Amino acid sequence: MYTEEEIKKAAKDIVGAEKIVALTGAGISTESGIPDFRGTDGLWTKYDPDDFTYSKFLQDPAKYWKMSLELGELLLSLEPKPNLAHLALARLEELGKLRCVITQNVDGLHQVAGNTEVIEFHGNLRRVVCIACGERFPHDLAMEKASNGELPPRCDKCKGILKPDAVLFEEPIPRYALDRSLEEARNCDLMIVVGTSAVVYPAAELPRIAKERDGYHASFFGLYQPRRVMDYKKGAKVIEINAEPTPLTGIVSDYLIEGKAGEILPKILKEVERLLGF
Ligand code: NAD
């Protein structure tokens, strides 16, 4: 469990930093009622991750959409709202204390909370994309087609197959998101990592890139680079806020504030506002 000292320390680090970036994962949205993947009630206790690969999608898109109808109902029809953790990050941006949020989430809640600089590393489940012509449509449209028996749902323009605009396993990260995230990670002086198990790559590499600042990024693109001793001293500070320790803890992150993001981030925000004289 976290301590008040850790909250104060994080607030002081935020006030003292100039280029702050947040990296968020499914854990920031659990308090909005969206289950994460790997937590105790995570989606992988009910679904097989192997069914959500791009090759499985191409093999049998209709089967994918049947699963997606069920899962989509769970994720989207809940009409989840941003929670206090999302709102705290939006306020940090408003205060000039957050350059951007790099999110692995596909729920769009950071934008609803008010963050304007959001890099969607794994896409967004509220959109679908035609795998033939690249046209994007609202997810609801595809769900309507699928529930009316159009399996797989097809593009209104070219009749190509529609796929959720969220990155499936085996799919590459959207180029813009990859480039911009890498640039932000390399240039930040503080990275706040919230609610991620930090085991999904290449997103999990971003805190390491921030920590080292220079170099190491070749592995980000999956290129072979002889591993060398990393110099963590010259890089950004990395603060983790998570319900449990992760592979970053004690190695990449300077410290972990352990507990619920929806409790911890508002407390940090309150202290930041106090230090800034609000
Ligand atoms: P993950 O499920 O692997 O890990 C979530 C982490 O957050 C865990 O370590 C868990 O202990 C922690 N956590 C759970 N509730 C928390 C809370 N209230 N406060 C602080 N920490 C909390 O998720 P991940 O690391 O983001 O990686 C898996 C992939 O899951 C991502 O690619 C993402 O696209 C996808 N995903 C997204 C959503 C969403 O958009 N909301 C939901 C499920 C999965």
Q: What is the DSSP letter of 173?
A: P
How many whole angstroms separate alpha carbon 74 and alpha carbon 32? 12
Domain shared by 8 and 45, yes or no: no
Q: 141, 166, 191 — which closes off a domain?
A: 166
Q: Are residues 160 and 257 in the same domain?
A: no
- Let me know whether 118 and 132 are in one domain: no
Spacing, Cα 38 to ligand 1 middle (Å) = 7
Number of domain units in the chain: 2
Main-chain phi, psi angles of 22, to 5 degrees: -110, 140
For residue 196, the ligand 1 atom closest to its alpha carbon is: 25
Atom of ligand 1 nearest to the CA of 37: 2
Q: What is the mean pLDDT of residues 200-204?
A: 92
Catalytic residue among 86, 122, 139, 217: 122
Inform me whether the pLDDT recorded for 186 exceeds 70: yes
Q: CA-CA distance, 125 to 224, in Å (whole number)?
A: 32
Q: What is the pLDDT of residues 206-242, one digit of tens each?
A: 999 999 875 444 455 554 444 444 555 678 999 999 9
Q: What is the CATH number of the domain that holds 158?
A: 3.30.1600.10
| Mean pLDDT of the chain, nearest integer | 88
Query: Which range, of 55-59, 84-88, 119-123, 216-220, averages the lowest pLDDT?
Result: 216-220
Residue 125: band (very low, low, confident or very high) from pLDDT cuts 50, 70, 90:
confident
| Whether residues 15 and 41 fall in one domain | no
The rounded Å distance from CA 228 to ligand 1 centre is 30
Percent of the chain with pLDDT over 90: 67
**111 and 247 share a domain?**
yes
Q: SS3 string of 22-33?
A: EEECHHHCHHHC
Q: Same domain for 205 and 184?
A: yes
Average pLDDT over residues 140-163: 92
* Pick from 83, 136, 132: nearest CA to 105: 83
Give me the domain span that covers residue 204: 1-33+82-122+173-278
Same domain, 206 and 256: yes
C-alpha angle with apex 29: 205 to 246, nearest 5 degrees?
A: 40
Last residue of a domain, one of 136, 166, 196: 166
3-state secondary structure of 171: coil
Model confidence at 85: pLDDT above 80 = yes
* DSSP codes, 218-242: GGGGT---------GGGS-EEEEEE
In angstroms, how far is CA 64 from the centroid of its own chain?
23
Q: Name the least confident of 4-13, 106-115, 168-177.
A: 168-177
Q: Which segment of 43-52, 108-117, 181-190, 236-245 scores lowest on mean pLDDT?
A: 43-52
Which of 71-80, 90-99, 171-180 has the weakest average pLDDT? 71-80
With a CB cutoff of 8 Å and minimum separation 6, the contacts of 68 are 143, 146, 164
Is 86 marked active-site?
no
The pLDDT, as a whole number, for residue 139 is: 86
pLDDT given for residue 140 in this prediction: 85
| Between 105 and 40, residue with greater pLDDT | 105
> What pLDDT sits at residue 169?
85
Residues 149 and 101 in one domain: no
> What is the position in ligand 1's atom list of the atom closest to the CA of 34?
41
The preferred substitution site among 37, 102, 256 for testing ligand 1, maximizing ligand atoms within 8 Å of CB, is 37
Say what the pLDDT of residue 51 is. 78
Question: Does the beta carbon of 240 sit less than 6 angstroms from any atom of ligand 1?
Answer: no
Given pLDDT bands bounded at 50, 70 and 90, which one contains residue 48?
A: confident
The Cα–Cα gap between 24 and 176 comes to 18
DSSP class of residue 163 equals E
- Answer yes or no: do 226 and 131 share one domain: no
CA distance 138 to 206: 29
State whether 101 and 5 are in the same domain: yes
Same-domain check for residues 192 and 101: yes
* Binding site membership of 124 for ligand 1 (Cβ less than 6 Å): no
- C-alpha span between 71 and 83 (Å, rounded): 21
CATH code of residue 250: 3.40.50.1220
Length of the chain: 278
CB atoms within 10 A of CB 186: 18
Residue 34 is predicted with a pLDDT of 85
Q: How far apart are the first and last CA of the chain?
A: 28
Tell me: do 205 and 256 sit in the same domain: yes
| Token duo for residue 89 | 């990050």
